[in-house]
Structure 1
Amino acid sequence: MTKLSVNINKIATLRNARGADNPNVVKVALDAERFGSQGITVHPRPDERHIRYQDVIDLAKVVTTEFNIEGYPDKRFMEMVRMIKPAQATLVPDPPTAITSNNGWDTIANQSMLKDIVAELHESGVRVSIFINPETKYFEPAKLTGTDRVELYTEPYAANYHKDRDAAVKPYIEVAELARELGMGLNAGHDLDLQNLAFLKQSIPYLDEVSIGHALVCDALYYGLENTIQMYRRKLE
């Protein structure tokens, strides 16, 4: 079974636009779980332009499914993860000014640093996933960091899906098989939606988890949050 983790960053973006607490991100997270989400994902950034660090603390008290915290592993992020001890920490190489995650780790150049970070998170009992491009050269070095999983960066797949979906998914099948051979779990995320999700799942049936936020929230404007979560769940089944 591939789990659906709902990224609620965009809910926080909407709240922050008015400076109050509507919509309330904790309530949305609890509702998402009640509607069928099997995990909640947040990605706090240093400028707190969407999810705030206090949100992460508040969510950690109430989330009962898998809580996944994404971020660049700077000092503040690491302190927060060690304190909260979520089910999973997803390490991304975003600079502070990035609008969204747009590249995976160079696990060759950053192997030593990532190895130390993974070991530190394991000491806190946190599962680790490393955000990674669909290029085979990065997978064995990722394995050597000690990471539990890798998260496939799927924007290139999504961008090319409507042109030639078989060609778009081909490199992902290749690296997914390699990750499986190396004994690493597989997550996926970025620009996955109701059009391209089912084919990715069919092509890589042993995906552990997908993390979806932007497209799911956009769809919820038309279909409603409960119905939308169920629609995404059906794509994974």
Structure 2
Amino acid sequence: MTRLSVNINKIATLRNARGGNIPDLLQVARDCERFGAEGITVHPRPDERHIRYRDVYDLKEVITTEFNIEGNPTPALMKLIDEVRPTQATLVPDAPSVLTSNAGWDIVSNRSFLTEIIAQLKAWGIRPSIFIGTDLRQIEAAASVGTTRIELYTEPFASGYHAGKPHEAVAPFVTAAEHALSLGLELNAGHDLSLENLAFFSASIPQLSEVSIGHALISDALYLGLEETIHRYLACLKHK
């Protein structure tokens, strides 16, 4: 079954708004795992506006499932990844100024850079994943740079689904997934997946290894509670 990795950035955003340690980020991570999540994701940014670098070191000591660190592989982030040694590092082409991830890699134009980064991650025993769109040429380039996985950037699917065109919205992702699998790549997915659209997306691409979900899941937890929310997201990933 597809694994659910909970992105806890928004918990850190709430904590940072007031200072102190409420809510307790480490306890939330423990609770997510206790309620059934199979991974924890963080995306530290240079300005530390949510997850702080110190948080990543602290989380390493308490996470018992898979730990996924996302981000632009700057020297500072690569140093952090080297010292923490998460299960997975997801490479995201974020500029420091962006509010949230809004595009996948142009791997063709960054082939040499990404080849070097991925080789380093593998040397550290870390599974590499590249955040990417559905362009088949870019997926072929992803295979050529040696990554183990790709993470499909699903905001275009979520927008199309919300517009009432679910089958049209998911079609490019199905094609991309089939092509990636034929090249020996494993599949992750993330961005704007929610209780509204996750079951349809997951059923359309049952070969997904992992989905990483933060904003929608944490927002749902305000109404449903964290335990019930995680159970509902896990239910979306079960196929009859």
TM-score range, shorter chain: over 0.9
1:232 aligns with 2:233: yes
Match in the other structure for 2:11: 11
2:11 corresponds to which letter in structure 1?
I
* 1:199-234 CA-partner distances (Å, limit 9, x unpaired): 111110000000000000000000000000000000
SS in 2 for 1:23: coil
SS in 1 for 2:99: coil
Match in the other structure for 2:165: 164
Match in the other structure for 1:116: 116
Match in the other structure for 2:209: 208
Residue 105 of structure 1: how far off its partner (Å): 0.1
Match in the other structure for 2:148: 148
Match in the other structure for 1:181: 182
Residue 135 of structure 1: how far off its partner (Å): 1.2
Q: Equivalent pairs: percent with the same residue?
A: 59
Residue 6 of structure 1: how far off its partner (Å): 0.2
Count of residue pairs brought into register by the alignment? 237
Match in the other structure for 1:220: 221
1:4 corresponds to which letter in structure 2?
L
TM-score by length of 1: 0.99
Unaligned segments of structure 1, at least 5 residues: none
Q: Distance in 2 between matches of 1:141 and 1:104?
A: 13
2:138 corresponds to which letter in structure 1?
Y
Q: Distance in 2 between matches of 1:140 and 1:155?
A: 21
Unaligned segments of structure 2, at least 5 residues: none
Match in the other structure for 1:197: 198
Residue 134 of structure 1: how far off its partner (Å): 1.2
Residue 137 of structure 1: how far off its partner (Å): 1.4
Q: Distance in 2 between matches of 1:220 and 1:155?
A: 21
Q: Distance in 1 between matches of 2:4 and 2:129?
A: 15
RMSD of aligned C-alpha atoms?
Answer: 0.5
1:27 corresponds to which letter in structure 2?
Q
Residue 193 of structure 1: how far off its partner (Å): 0.2
Q: Distance in 2 between matches of 1:106 and 1:132?
A: 8
SS in 1 for 2:152: strand
